[in-house]
Amino acid sequence: MAKIYSERRKAAKKRQDRRRFGILSKIRGYFFAGILVTMPLTVTLALAWWLVGAVDNHIVPLIPYGYNPDAYLKEVLGIGVGLPGLGVLILLVFITLIGALTAGFLGRIVVSFGEQILSRMPVIRTVYSAIKQIIETVFKDQSNAFRHAVLVEYPRRGVWTIGFLTGTTEGEVQNLILEDVVNVYIPTTPNPTSGFLLYVPREDIQMLHMSVEEAVKMVISIGLVVPPDRRSESERSMPVVSAGRYENIESLQQKRDREGLVNPTED
């Protein structure tokens, strides 16, 4: 009788332990789910708050005391509110006014005169011209910079990476290369602001259906965030590129070269 009672107690204790373990597992799952929900929002808000604060700290002190809305509210309410985003608003208005002034005839003369002065400075002219060319390329309406995500073989055949098509190669680089090449930017993970510029033959790149934003998220997340394949079922089931066939062709060519089966080039 005592043995049966002891076994029943052990069974009841096991059920209680399993129930307690199940509750702890659910709580742990809820905790990690909460982290996944709140962490991106918290980081985004923190970065936005830091950026707004950095701009305000540099611009708000430049406002005369009589024109500072925060000073006016301090006199009326008796306390310093500290309007967040005031510096950002003033910066946006200032940039818009600069753009409106430079769009006119007088503004273009002033800008041209300033560029002539900068062009005579040995180091500054190089930095200014490079920055100006990059900004004009990125913000120009007809530009295709960073608007296409592509798949290329890098750093060797059989290894694929995501790149961004930045334009068609021109000038001396294209004139020296027989094939028609394009500019492809290869970002590093998880920081896509640094990377490599490659000149890749147009036939060796594969255009991706995913957007640039989705490709950037995939690079930043080291492949954890994978965008859905929006192609049709028939397209998904049919591979488009393969590094193996090129490897086989190259291996066969090398074998023929070793065996002396390739005819020498005729003059």
Question: What are 108-127's pLDDT values in tens digits?
Answer: 787 788 888 878 888 787 88
- pLDDT of 163 reads 93
Given pLDDT bands bounded at 50, 70 and 90, which one contains residue 161?
Answer: very high
Q: What is the pLDDT of residues 65-114, one digit of tens each?
A: 767 777 766 766 666 666 778 888 888 888 888 888 777 777 778 778 88
Residue among 216, 173, 171 at smallest CA distance from 198: 173
pLDDT surpassing 70 at residue 139: no
Spatial separation of the C-alpha atoms in residues 52 and 58, rounded to whole Å = 10
Domain boundaries, the chain: 16-103, 104-142, 148-228
Given pLDDT bands bounded at 50, 70 and 90, which one contains residue 51?
Answer: confident
- pLDDT of 10 reads 66
Phi, psi of 42 (to 5 degrees): -65, -45
pLDDT surpassing 80 at residue 36: no
Task: Give the right CATH number for 148-228 from 2.40.160, 1.10.10, 2.30.30, 2.40.128.
Answer: 2.30.30
Decide if 211 contacts 228 (C-beta within 8 A): no
The pair of structure tokens assigned to 208 is 């991706």
Torsion sign (Cα): 175, 177, 183, 187: negative
- pLDDT of 142 reads 47
Alpha-carbon torsion, ordered 224, 225, 231, 235, to 10 deg: -10
Q: What is the pLDDT of residues 164-211, one digit of tens each?
A: 998 889 899 999 999 899 999 999 888 887 889 999 999 889 999 898
